[in-house]
Amino acid sequence: MRVIVIGCGLAGVTTAYYLRSLGAEVTVLDRAAAPARETSYANGSMLTPSLTDPWNAPGVLGVLLRSVGREGASLLLRPSALPSLLGWGLRFLASSSRSAFESAYLNNVRLALYSQTAMRDLLQTHSLEFEYAPDGTIKVFADQDAFEQGRRIAHWLKQAQVGHREMDRDALLAFEPALVPAGERLVGGIHYPGDEVGNARLFCEALKAVAEETGVVFRFSEQILDVNRRGRRIEGLVTPRETLTADAYVLAAGAYSWPLGKLFGLRVPVRPVKGYSLTVPVGDDAVGDDVLLPRYAVVDETLHAAVVPLGNGKLRVAGTAEFAGFDLNLTPKRLANLKGLLGQLYPQIPAEETTVDGWCGLRPVTPDGVPLLGPTNRDNLYLNTGHGALGWTQACGSGRAVAQMVMDQATDEDMSAFAPARFR
């Protein structure tokens, strides 16, 4: 079977790898010049079954309305994005009931845990270098009420096989000494040992190299201009160079799956939600050899952002969610929020005096907060998109499952909750 995968971020490269492992002839198209040059480029770097809650939690409408005009809001709605959100937004709000939210949450946990299994299988087969650290993450809390709520969630997740360890302030500071300078503002923390850290861009580059060695063809800097269709069947992709044909097609283009879907005659219910990150050098030359640096990824539950140690003397500071359409401008105040988080958690790290790399990317979000995996109402078109902030957490599991569907094989896990047909 010949398959074309559209997109070479986490979703696209994993799908291509697994398709080839099942015997398909695979070509990957991407408009960028290399793998993972868009949303997978500088994301939060965490693979977190503990953080799979959708953004449309109960009460989200009030949160969004209060966010308008507030650059410090963790979830921000810009009025310019409203026209593109009208129909999608009604579904988003309809999915914010307690029962719908919890169902989506658990489905995301299930896919995250399956994806971890797929990742570990992959790493046993191939030696991939991507700053991988399976040491877990820590949620920290600045007030007792938030800590109690965090503990309730942790106990709820335990039923879904997500383990945790609760720590009061003293235990937290002993576990992660780099938090001692900020210890007075913290009341406790929760360690999730099953979470992991890794550089998503490096992973995509490494897996692309492996896939290429096995015969996958990658075509970069190539856009899709049009799609040839006959009835419900896709017959070819028109690019500036030629028309490409295949037996099946996988749309794995993140938030751009929405506009690209229109070329296929398909309404893809994803919308872009902008997230920001900073990459901060913390080697001896940047901060001095006497500065206590973090060992674990830390999520500040109050500020809704994370600080993640990466290899080669770097920290990744990531967070915030902004409904702003396809705007990729770096807003200085939003970046300043992340610098502020770093300063509050680690005042010993002089972020204001250090050169940092700011970045933003567009997360593909579905109305119910659960990805779109599998066949569409086009006979030979499949989706692997809509993961929101969980693209890295769910990448390997999603890629393996979609590849199995394309090859008409039974999936390892029940994937019915992720079927695109739920939005027809």
Q: Which residue spans within 41-105 are E strands per DSSP?
A: 46-47, 75-77
**Do 275 and 321 touch, CB atoms closer than 8 A?**
yes
CA separation for the pair 411, 39 (Å, rounded): 27
Residue reference for tokens 């406790």: 188
CA separation for the pair 188, 186 (Å, rounded): 6
pTM for the model:
0.96
Taking phi over 0 as left and psi of -120 to 50 as alpha, with beta for the rest, 69 belongs to left
pLDDT in tens, the chain (424 residues): 999 999 999 999 999 999 999 999 999 999 999 999 999 999 999 999 999 999 899 998 888 888 787 877 888 888 888 888 889 999 999 999 999 999 999 999 999 999 999 999 999 999 999 999 999 999 999 999 999 999 999 999 999 999 999 999 999 999 999 999 999 999 999 999 999 999 999 999 999 999 999 999 999 999 999 999 999 999 999 999 999 999 999 999 999 999 999 999 999 999 999 999 999 998 766 566 678 899 999 998 776 789 999 988 899 999 888 999 999 999 988 888 899 899 999 999 876 656 678 999 999 999 999 999 999 999 999 999 999 999 999 999 999 999 999 999 999 999 999 999 999 8
CA separation for the pair 192, 153 (Å, rounded): 12
Give the 3-state secondary structure of residue 297.
Answer: strand
Give the tokens for residue 82.
């409203």
Taking phi over 0 as left and psi of -120 to 50 as alpha, with beta for the rest, 292 belongs to beta
Give the chain's end-to-end CA distance (angstroms, integer): 28
Give the tokens for residue 340.
């502020």
What Cα–Cα distance (Å) separates residue 75 from each residue in 45, 65, 143, 324? 20, 10, 20, 11
Residues 6 or more apart whose CB falls under 8 angstroms from that of 409 comprise 22
CA separation for the pair 333, 80 (Å, rounded): 18
CA separation for the pair 188, 305 (Å, rounded): 17
Give the DSSP per-residue string, 267-296. ----EEEEEEEEEEE-SHHHH-TTSPPP-S
Give the tokens for residue 58.
């109960």
Domains in the chain, CATH or no CATH each? 2-41+202-269+368-423 (3.50.50.60), 47-196+272-365 (3.30.9.10)
